[in-house]
Amino acid sequence: MIMEKELFTKVQQTLAGALGVDESEITPEASLKRDLGAESIDFIDIVFRLEKTFNLKIPAGDLFPSHLLNDERFVKEGMVTAEGLAELRGKLPYLELEEFTKDPQITKLADCFTVKMLLRYLSDRLGKSSCSDQCCS
């Protein structure tokens, strides 16, 4: 079982390699897009690198909620509906949606893709029950 510190270090190294940023900039709260400057090709790079680093396959719907956002019940006129938010919380528990719910424009959802989200997801996939505060602080 991978230790939390080790997990964070590996994620830091992976993101630093993909995004060309200093490891010190990669904090748990950092948003991949807003803070670390990730663009679309970087998201794909990150997914592939994480798969290699942790020897797992990350299905598209696991980290990025494409299957939910195609559903008209969940997105109306560019905004995620209350039903959509509930679905996101249920299906993607690693996402932190507190800020997003105040102005749930679909185009702003990418801001919720944080380093912490990746840590929680990986922690879950690698067999730990949760990512503790020590890891994400």
Is 1 exposed, middle or buried (CB count within 10 Å of its CB: 0-12, 13-18, 19+)?
A: exposed
30: contact with other proteins by CB under 8 A: no
| Distance (Å, whole) CA 30 – CA 112 | 9
| Contact between 61 and other proteins per CB under 8 A | yes
| Least distance between other proteins and beta carbon 69 (Å) | 4
Which of 110, 124, 125, 128 is in the footprint of other proteins by CB under 8 A? 110
The only residue of 11, 15, 36, 63 in contact with other proteins, by rule CB under 8 A: 63
Taking the C-alpha atoms of residue 1 and residue 123, their distance in angstroms, rounded to an integer, is 10
Using CB under 8 A as the binding rule, whether residue 45 contacts other proteins is answered as yes
The reply on whether position 76 binds other proteins by CB under 8 A is no
Helices (H), 70-132: 82-91, 115-125
- From the list 6-14, 72-80, 94-102, 118-126, the region that binds other proteins by CB under 8 A is 72-80
**Cα–Cα distances in Å, from 65 out to 71, 85, 102, 129?**
11, 11, 19, 22
* CB of 35 or CB of 45, closer to other proteins: 45
Element (H, E) at 47: helix 40-54
Residues forming contacts to other proteins in the complex (CB under 8 A) are 39-41, 43-45, 47-49, 51, 60-61, 63-67, 69-72, 75, 78, 106-107, 109-110
